[in-house]
Amino acid sequence: MKILLVGAGGVGGAITGIASRRPFFEAMVVADYNEASAQRAAQRTGDPRFSAIRIDASDEAAVATALREHECDVLLNATDPRFVMPLFRAALSAGAHYLDMAMSLSRPNAEQPYALTGVKLGDEQFELSSKWDDAGRLALVGIGVEPGLSDIFARYAADHLFSHIDEVGIRDGANLTVEGYDFAPTFSIWTTIEECLNPPVVWERGRGWYTTEPFSEPEVFDFPEGIGSVECVNVEHEEVLLVPRWVEAERVTFKYGLGDEFIGVLRALHKIGLDRVDKIKVGDVEVSPRDVVAACLPNPATLGDRMRGKTCAGTYVTGTGKDGNPRATYLYHVVDNEWSMREYGAQAVVWQTAINPVVALELLATGSWKGAGVLGPEAFDAQPYLDLLVTYGSPWGMRDQ
């Protein structure tokens, strides 16, 4: 397997560190608009299988050419969601498989944004599913940690733990702190603004997908391994758009533990228009307000030495167990920042995201997972994935409650 990795930021850099310890691929070409970043991500592995090139992720033709020139079998997208569609189309045109960790962007309903969906996350990709089928190529979408591992937990619960599922509820929380900063997000602020300020989506049987107000339905969720109780709220996320396509459930939700301060900052950014992506003129230049916000904050990938605590991603499933009795189970994955920094030199949030596409690539390379078309992680057997995750030295947990 030859891989074109597009994006050498925090997640991309963690991907190279994780993949370098595995033998399943022949070569990985690391591509980024900033060639120096791509070179750093490739060179610090000390592995001759890695090389680096400069590429503009928005240039479909250039990406397709790179795939052909380097004879890559698969494109792994580690950029932010703005570049999903050009990379997705480039892989299809070049005859390569495709993986990403975030799906094509949504656009709210113009008339009733907090009741009806508009263009949903991933809609643009699923519209091209038949073309991927016809080409005999796989687009495995949403294979990070959330979405990704969270979806695999839903598949595992449906196959092994439950006879009937009332709700698949993704619950994400952490007790991470960053020393020396009053406000420092641990993941891309551009993406965080996008998913937190868009209308959250909920899925219910008989009603389908619908939207609510941002930060709606707050609940306190008790996270494992010492993280403790965190208030979680509804946030737009891919799992709600993916899980109902392959897992039978009555309801699917995603709730994120943001905290009052973080929510307050996001609301303030929205109130004064700093969450906008369309460019405005400032003096003689045009600039996106959201890009300015991102530029003013520290790069999350550089915060590992200042971070303390753990992050938890998981799937809370309720319903009827295989024994016919009521059951409520939380399947989860916890990463301690001290461990990920010591073992990989990557902070916990980006490392937890990065490990999952590498595991998926290995399953595809060995033939344990096979498919064509546009598929989510829950379309595949969860057991070999979870077994391999443990082999990578990153165990998962399960708690009945």
Estimate to the nearest angstrom the gap between the alpha carbon of 134 and the chain centroid: 27
Query: Collapsing DSSP states into helix, strand and coil, what is residue 28?
Result: strand
CA distance 96 to 91: 5
Residue 176: the pLDDT is 92
pLDDT digits (tens, 9 = 90+) for 11-69: 999 999 999 999 999 999 999 999 999 999 999 999 999 999 999 999 999 999 999 99
The percentage of residues in the chain with a pLDDT greater than 70, rounded to a whole number, is: 100
- 149-349: CATH class: alpha beta
Cβ atoms within 10 Å, residue 173: 27
Q: What is the CATH number of domain 2-100?
A: 3.40.50.720
Burial (Cβ within 10 Å: 0-12, 13-18, ≥19) of residue 83: buried
Worst-scoring range by mean pLDDT, 271-285, 340-354, 387-401? 271-285
The residue ranges of every structural domain in the chain are 2-100, 149-349
> Is pTM beyond 0.85 here?
yes
Of 57, 64, 61, nearest in space to 78 by CA: 57
Strand partners, 30: 5, 52
pLDDT of residue 305 exceeding 90, the answer is no
User: What is the pLDDT at residue 64?
Assistant: 98
Residue 161: pLDDT over 80: yes
**pLDDT of 260 higher than 90:** no
- Calculate the average pLDDT of the chain: 95
pLDDT at 297: 86
Q: What are phi and psi of 284, to 5 degrees?
A: -100, 5
How much is the pLDDT for 143?
A: 98
- 99 compared with 265, residue with greater pLDDT: 99
Band of the pLDDT at 181, cuts 50, 70, 90? Answer: confident
Q: What pLDDT does 183 receive? A: 82
Lowest mean pLDDT among 149-163, 254-268, 332-346: 254-268
Q: How confident is the model at residue 262 (pLDDT cuts 50, 70, 90)?
A: confident
The pLDDT score that the predictor gives to residue 386 is 98
Written as one string, the DSSP assignment of 341-358 is HHHHS--HHHHHHHHHHH
Supply angle C-alpha 118, 119, 124, rounded to 5: 170
